């Protein structure tokens, strides 16, 4: 009966009901769309980075500075940054395999100046363990030549980088050409020349990913190993530590510490880094690695594995991080977008709740006499409050469903347009080259839940006021 009463009350106040319907369905729509975009971009970013670059989990040496696959997350500290070598590599590896994690690959990471076809540029280098590296990264697609082989010096470049040199600069580049890497350190250089083995392409590359150069690990190690033999360089390392440990205030005030605003992705700073004499990245020895990348089987709970591994591996002084951390700042950008989106939704919701509450209040005031009558014939607080809540519940369920239907249909329509995504940041956000947002029932349920929560929340205040209406209002005139 109270259901009937609530429902018919809604039907009676057509105008306010319609207004509320539109309001709630609009909020539901915005929420569903926004959330679908976000979860799509979450999946897209995952595809871009986890499939191509970081795998699902990454093991790094535990340390104070937050670090990604290419160095420290803070660009300036990067100048002094020494890529830490993984301690107890063999023990870690055994532990991982004991845990049933077999899809592993170790990498060394560094930066160098690369000379190819007469052009010099700064590049991020990944010295990869083969063939495991190529088996855990299905997103790497070989276009020309062959994959790197174990114990053979060689380098692989992205097609985009090669095309840039070929087309824009008009250079002849083919597999077998010699590529020269130079790593500078305080008093000298270390130079290695290796043959170009293959040209590859990342599936849906993110920004700056075309600059990544894959080499055999020994080449990268030997470029970096100078540090371990040059005594004076050890001093520099000590200086670095002293700087880092020392007066931080002094550091922050010393000029261009924050000069580089470009915190998007650490690779972006390479060009600058390498134009000045750089401190080479590591004192790495044969057999040393900087990171182990882990591919987990699909369907397994990655954050759970991460937690377990962190507990198991803690004694070795290493930390397991997820692909987001491993990818560095680019992957974090989606978090910012998410943050702003939720902020926006929150604002819209607050405005929505205020409007809904206002409309409900008017409808409660208009029915003062009726509610007084209900009281006079024996309705309890619970019944009166229940009536108001029910009205809003009906309303929000209907409005939520309507909003959802429209949103779902609209999204389907948008997907059919297959709008191309030109920009690599945007396309890496969505994980595809055309704008297609997967319609997910989980997001639909979430949006409906938000609508219902909104309805119930905005029934609280009018409900509380309705309870306060005295039965005497039933007979009051006017």
Partner 1 sequence: MSIIKLSKLEKIYPLGKLEVAALKGVDLEINKGDFVSVAGPSGSGKTTMMNIIGLIDTPTRGEICIEGKNAGTLRRAELTRLRHETIGFIFQSFNLLPVLSVIENVELPLVLGRLKMKKNERREWVEHLLQEVGLEDRINHKPSELSGGQQQRVAIARALAAKPQIVIADEPTANLDSVTGERILNLMKQVNKDEGTTFIFSSHDPSIWKIADHTIFLRDGIIESETRQ
Nearest-approach distance from CB 382 to partner 1, in angstroms? 9
Question: Cβ distance 184 to 277 under 8 Å?
Answer: yes
Instruction: Candidates 47, 192, 197, 375: give the one binding partner 1 (CB under 8 A).
Output: 375
CB neighbourhood size of 28 (10 A): 29
Q: 3-class SS at 477? A: coil
Q: Mark the segment that binds partner 1 (CB under 8 A) among 6-14, 90-98, 185-193, 328-336.
A: 6-14
Residues 352-371 that bind partner 1 (CB under 8 A): 369-370
Q: 3-class SS at 231? A: helix
Residue 119 in the binding site for partner 1 (CB under 8 A)? no
Residue 4 in the binding site for partner 1 (CB under 8 A)? yes
Nearest-approach distance from CB 3 to partner 1, in angstroms? 10
Question: Cβ distance 84 to 272 under 8 Å?
Answer: no
Tokens of 231: 């005594």
Q: Mark the segment that binds partner 1 (CB under 8 A) among 35-43, 319-327, 378-386, 426-434.
A: 378-386
Instruction: Candidates 96, 374, 444, 459: give the one binding partner 1 (CB under 8 A).
Output: 374
Place of tokens 């007066």: 247
Nearest-approach distance from CB 36 to partner 1, in angstroms? 38
Nearest-approach distance from CB 7 to partner 1, in angstroms? 9
Nearer to partner 1, 311 or 366 (CB): 366
Residue 471 in the binding site for partner 1 (CB under 8 A)? yes
Report the Cα 373 to chain-centroid distance in Å: 57
CA distances from 136 to 26, 115, 130, 316, 329 (A): 44, 29, 10, 24, 23
DSSP string across 56-87: SEEEEE--SS-EETTEESSTTGGGG---PPPT
Plot region of 71 (φ>0 → left; ψ -120 to 50 → alpha; else → beta): left
Bond prior to 76 in cis (omega within 30° of 0):
no
Residue 231 in the binding site for partner 1 (CB under 8 A)? no
Nearer to partner 1, 57 or 395 (CB): 395
Nearest-approach distance from CB 368 to partner 1, in angstroms? 12
Nearest-approach distance from CB 4 to partner 1, in angstroms? 7
Q: How many residues line the site for partner 1 (CB under 8 A)? A: 26
Q: Which residues bind partner 1 (CB under 8 A)?
A: 1-2, 4-5, 8-9, 11-12, 369-370, 372-381, 383, 470-472, 474-475
């Amino acid at each position: 009966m109270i259901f009937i009463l609530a429902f018919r009350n809604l039907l009676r106040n057509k105008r306010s009901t319609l207004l509320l319907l539109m309001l709630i369905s609009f909020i539901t729509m915005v929420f569903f769309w926004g959330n679908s975009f976000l979860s799509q971009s979450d999946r897209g970013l995952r595809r871009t980075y986890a499939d191509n670059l970081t795998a699902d989990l990454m093991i790094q040496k535990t340390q104070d500075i937050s670090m990604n696959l290419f160095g420290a997350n803070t660009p300036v500290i990067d100048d002094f940054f020494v890529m830490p070598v993984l301690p107890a590599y063999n023990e870690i590896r055994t532990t991982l395999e004991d845990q049933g994690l077999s899809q592993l690959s170790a990498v060394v990471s560094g930066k160098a100046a690369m000379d190819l076809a007469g052009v010099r540029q700064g590049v991020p280098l990944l010295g990869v363990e083969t063939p495991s590296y190529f088996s855990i990264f299905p997103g790497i697609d070989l276009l020309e030549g062959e994959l790197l082989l174990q114990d053979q010096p060689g380098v692989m470049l992205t097609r985009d980088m090669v095309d840039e040199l070929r087309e824009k600069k008009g250079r002849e580049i083919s597999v077998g050409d010699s590529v020269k890497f130079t790593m500078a350190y305080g008093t000298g250089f270390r130079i290695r020349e290796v043959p170009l083995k293959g040209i590859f392409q990342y599936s849906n590359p993110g920004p700056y990913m075309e600059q990544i150069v894959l080499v055999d690990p020994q080449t990268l190690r030997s470029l970096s190993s100078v540090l371990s033999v040059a005594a004076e360089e050890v001093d520099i390392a000590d200086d670095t530590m002293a700087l880092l440990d020392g007066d931080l205030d002094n550091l922050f005030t010393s000029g261009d510490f924050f000069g580089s605003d470009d915190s998007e992705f650490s690779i972006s700073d390479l060009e600058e880094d390498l134009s000045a004499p750089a401190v080479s990245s590591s004192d790495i020895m044969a057999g040393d690695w900087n990171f182990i990348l882990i591919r987990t089987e699909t369907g397994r709970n990655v954050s759970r594995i991460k937690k377990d591994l962190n507990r198991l591996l803690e004694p070795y002084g290493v930390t397991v991080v997820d692909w987001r951390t491993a990818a560095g700042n680019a992957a974090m950008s989606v978090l910012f977008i998410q943050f702003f989106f939720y902020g926006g939704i929150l604002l819209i919701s607050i405005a929505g709740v205020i409007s809904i509450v206002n409309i409900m209040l008017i409808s409660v005031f208009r029915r003062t006499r009726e509610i007084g009558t209900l009281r006079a014939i024996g309705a309890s607080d619970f019944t009166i409050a229940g009536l108001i809540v029910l009205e809003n519940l009906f309303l929000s369920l209907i409005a939520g469903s309507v909003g959802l239907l429209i949103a779902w249909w609209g999204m389907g329509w948008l997907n059919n347009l297959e709008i191309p995504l030109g920009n690599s940041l945007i396309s890496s956000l969505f994980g595809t080259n055309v704008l297609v947002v997967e319609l997910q029932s989980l997001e639909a349920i979430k949006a409906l839940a938000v609508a219902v929560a909104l309805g119930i929340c905005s029934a609280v205040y009018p409900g509380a006021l309705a309870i306060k209406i005295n039965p005497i209002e039933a007979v009051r005139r006017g």
